[in-house]
Structure 1
Amino acid sequence: MKLKIYSLIAVSTVSLALSSCKKDFLDQTPITQVGPDVAFADAAAAEKLIQGAYDGMYNDYHIWDYQTNGDVRSDNAYSGGDNPANFQIDLFTVNSTNGNVLRDWNSLYSDIKNCNLILTNVPNIKDSKLEVNNRRNQILAEASILRAYMYFNLVRLWGSVPLVTKIPSEGADFYPAKASVDAIYAQIISDLEYGAANAQTTSANKGIMTKGVANALLAKVYATKSTPDWAKVSTYCDAVINGGYSLVSNYDFLWDSNHKNNSEAIWEMQYDGWGGKHGNWMPSVLVGTGWKRFNTPTNDLSKAFDNEGDAIRKASSIKFNNVVSEGWSDSYWNKASYPYINKFRADDKSDNYILRLADIMLLKAEALNELSAGGWSSAATIVNTIRNRVGLGATTATDQASMRLAIEKERRLELAFEGHRWFDLLRTNRAVAVMNAQTDGAGANLNYNVTTAKLLFPIPQDEIDKNPNVR
């Protein structure tokens, strides 16, 4: 019997991630998912549903794979480690049986299912408590923003995918065909516009979906569509920039684990350690001794920091250790000075930013530069603000073309290992050229042989077997 595409994905499948590791970092209590047996009777049930949607995000995709897909697939990191699925992503040899591809598909659709449970059932709950302080609409807005984010990831990773916005009932609903990319973006924008209109304005807990999250995502969506709408990008960036956020004074405060939910954070995961509900195992697989870690910073990124004289952001982003005594080899680096990602330091507690203000400010600079030939000058003011925080002088860009490359570089150095780089290269049509120019530490070309056909993930074979309509 064929399994339904929209069935609840078992959390145990995430163990594919580290199947060849020496230690099992996923040996933990499964994340509780909200299933269809929840009684949709009152305000308490509605709160349980939205909490379940948030809790469902503490899975492999949002903890770690977002970085593998955004940085290892780019020029920021090599796969490191010993996992064949990660090697394929790094070397652009991904096929439909890749375990990471399957689990990411499952994770994102499981998250969407949780959102659809809310959006289908919460409007029908008859409980006056949901009308207090507009709570019903806030819950619906939070679920809409979350669903939009999941589809934004799906469409950027796979392109055309099934667009499921309700709980399937029977027949063809269980085996949906792929929707067009335009239709998916239309749904994303609709969800985010509802979210921006109805979500809470702010929250001390930066894991909650607010107007700021919705506006930031709208800016990124309009910049990513096949035909960017730079006027709307600018408008939504302004809504975020004027929405009460501010850059933290010290760049390293973002990563020292002592400044969580800070003024720069728009949306960050809320990890609390294994003693709480949400532990973050990612730092354990990025840095440490005893075995080769994953997502190794590239020679090219290290050189980019050095060429810019960017010592502050490099120190916050990359840590070098002597690991000569360890019994593993590496094709890219001398083990006497071996790099590790340094943005995630407190094992099981480090938060990761899905959205922060510097990202949106640089996107605003990009919009200004694209809206007019002379916009580069206004863009430079924003770029220089970001650079000044880390002790760098003004950008040397002097026209629209040079400013494009300056912003691209600034985004890379500012946002390294935050899962953005690959998607920046994709949306600016720079992925093929940049990746095919990559060299190792000795200057030899890495021969990625990237083509446009390799820019998107294939639909997982397991999904094709269950649902032939996605071929």
Structure 2
Amino acid sequence: MKKLLYIIPFMILLGSCKKFLETDPQQQVDQSEAITNAGSAATAASGMFNVLASNDYYGSNFQSLAYLSAGDITWTGSQAAPSEITKHLTSATNSNVGAAWTAIYKTISSANYIIANVPSVNDPLFSTALRNQYVGEAYFVRALAYFDLARGWGGAQLVLNPTLTSADNKNIPRSSQADTYAQVLKDLNAAEPLVPTAVNRNRVSQKTVWALKARLYLYTQQWALAEQFATQVISSADYTLVKPYSAFFANSAAATSESVFELAYTVSNTNNHSNWWLPPALGGRREWAPSDILVGLLNNSLVGGGRSTLIAQTAAPGNLWYGKLYYRTPLGTDPAYVIRIAELYFIRSEARARQGNLSTAVTDLNTVRDRAGLGAATASTLDALLLALENERRVEFPFEADRWFNLVRTDRAQTVLSLPDKHLYLFPIPYSETVVDPNLAGGNANPGY
């Protein structure tokens, strides 16, 4: 029990004792004691990325909350939790929501241990550059985790120190979404001077930090800063829109110049996306499937262009359409795409448009359209350009959990998806958390659930 406390944040610890004891720990090591030299620090850093990439976070589940909420992905299975999400009837007891929340806080916990312990490691073989890298990466990962909590749940308890005992990190109030985003920026500012300048698409460099800053500034409507940081990434020779569109994922491609940040998987640390997207004939369950509308958009040469390669159809008599972004052999070894350079063009396009620079905004939009083999867009007003960007994101990132958060961010979700109420813009705080922590209960919980 003592060792479990070291890796699971306080909000999880307060759940049912029986459930807690029956849960197998991901790591049965006292991390505060384990990070004692360069080797154990490296292990801790790798472990942190593994938690970020886990199936309940970027390995499938967190992203599925967005897939299933956005209307373009249908659920073909029988489980109640994903069916609720698809129908916008999500409850506070929804197991998918609870699992994603828990995974994000586990990721934060891993980052907290590195931030707290790596700086004091006394090892003559531990270079300053490597020490800084691990701490900077932990700040970035924590920033990403809090960013996801903010855009998904609207605000979070900001746990910034390791949880070593059940008495640690008690009675932390829930912060507002704005304060949570402020913590994201604080962590990104801390990460920026520490991480390497050299690009590593599976780890964190300064340009990875800039990319997430650009996304953050877009969400917080700081248009000039969103443009500035998007430009810093786009201007780098390290990133290009690869052609054709499928070149960033087809033929087992990985870590191409398209990727700003992607998570790598192996046969011993798998990505569960292919299990949900592929049909049984290809080893999957196809319980996530592109809607008929999405299939039509992707197959329309004037809309999807080369992005039709994202989908395929089974043979007769089934003739079932499925997503083929995740497909590799062995199954589960596909990357998970967190940030691609195409998104930075869209960020800069919108940021420029919001500042009245429509001509350069259209140029950025058309850069992405050209890569997809499409002709130039001709939007000449702000509203037309914003709608064009919305539509382009829809077919550029249909299997990358972009559409839902983008529609919520722009306050378009209720109109586009015919939602009955805007409380659905936020996922519910898991019921298991609200019953044990007054800081997440009552008026502190998300309304409407």
Q: Normalized against structure 1, the TM-score is what?
A: 0.84
CA distance in 2, matches of 1:223, 1:314: 25
1:41 equivalent in structure 2: 36
* TM-aligned CA deviation for residue 43 of structure 1: 2.0
The correspondence for 2:142, drawn from 140, 147, 151, is 147
1:97 equivalent in structure 2: 93
Question: Where do 1:262-411 residues align within 5 Å?
Answer: 262-272=256-266, 274=267, 277-289=268-280, 293-306=286-299, 309-310=302-303, 312-322=305-315, 324=317, 336-346=318-328, 347-372=331-356, 375-411=357-393
2:9 equivalent in structure 1: 6
User: What's the RMSD between the two structures over aligned residues?
Assistant: 2.6
* TM-aligned CA deviation for residue 34 of structure 1: 5.7
Contact 2:196–2:204 (Cα < 8 Å) also in 1: yes
State the secondary structure of the residue aligned to 1:213.
helix
After superposition, the C-alpha distances for 1:74-99 in whole angstroms (9 at most, x for unaligned) are 02211222221001111111111100
State the secondary structure of the residue aligned to 1:177.
coil
Contact 2:155–2:179 (Cα < 8 Å) also in 1: no
Flag the 1:142–1:153 CA change in 2: closer, same or farther, 3 A: same
CA distance in 2, matches of 1:65, 1:222: 26
CA distance in 1, matches of 2:352, 2:304: 28
**Unpaired runs of at least 5, structure 1:** 17-28, 325-335, 437-448
- How many residue pairs match? The answer is 422
1:296 aligned partner, one-letter code: A
1:188 equivalent in structure 2: 184
Flag the 1:255–1:33 CA change in 2: closer, same or farther, 3 A: farther
1:121 aligned partner, one-letter code: N
Flag the 1:432–1:249 CA change in 2: closer, same or farther, 3 A: same
2:403 equivalent in structure 1: 421
Contact 2:75–2:287 (Cα < 8 Å) also in 1: yes
1:391 aligned partner, one-letter code: G
1:248 equivalent in structure 2: 242
State the secondary structure of the residue aligned to 1:355.
strand
Contact 1:70–1:423 (Cα < 8 Å) also in 2: yes
Question: Where do 1:155-170 residues align within 5 Å?
Answer: 155-168=150-163
CA distance in 2, matches of 1:93, 1:33: 37
* TM-aligned CA deviation for residue 9 of structure 1: 6.5
CA distance in 1, matches of 2:219, 2:301: 27
CA distance in 1, matches of 2:41, 2:411: 42
1:261 aligned partner, one-letter code: A
**Unpaired runs of at least 5, structure 2:** 442-449
* TM-aligned CA deviation for residue 306 of structure 1: 4.6
* TM-aligned CA deviation for residue 131 of structure 1: 3.6
* TM-aligned CA deviation for residue 69 of structure 1: 1.8
1:58 equivalent in structure 2: 53
* TM-aligned CA deviation for residue 387 of structure 1: 1.1
2:426 aligned partner, one-letter code: L
* TM-aligned CA deviation for residue 148 of structure 1: 0.4
2:230 equivalent in structure 1: 237
2:369 aligned partner, one-letter code: R
1:352 aligned partner, one-letter code: A
The correspondence for 1:81, drawn from 77, 80, 89, is 77
| Runs of 4+ more than 6 Å apart | none
Contact 1:75–1:435 (Cα < 8 Å) also in 2: yes
* 2:433 aligned with 1:463: yes
Flag the 1:345–1:39 CA change in 2: closer, same or farther, 3 A: closer
State the secondary structure of the residue aligned to 2:312.
strand
Flag the 1:307–1:401 CA change in 2: closer, same or farther, 3 A: farther
Flag the 1:42–1:172 CA change in 2: closer, same or farther, 3 A: closer
Flag the 1:281–1:68 CA change in 2: closer, same or farther, 3 A: closer
Flag the 1:342–1:433 CA change in 2: closer, same or farther, 3 A: same
* TM-aligned CA deviation for residue 188 of structure 1: 0.4
* TM-aligned CA deviation for residue 153 of structure 1: 0.7
2:420 equivalent in structure 1: 450
CA distance in 2, matches of 1:34, 1:417: 35
Contact 2:306–2:373 (Cα < 8 Å) also in 1: no
Contact 2:239–2:341 (Cα < 8 Å) also in 1: yes
Contact 1:313–1:414 (Cα < 8 Å) also in 2: no
1:20 equivalent in structure 2: none
State the secondary structure of the residue aligned to 1:56.
helix
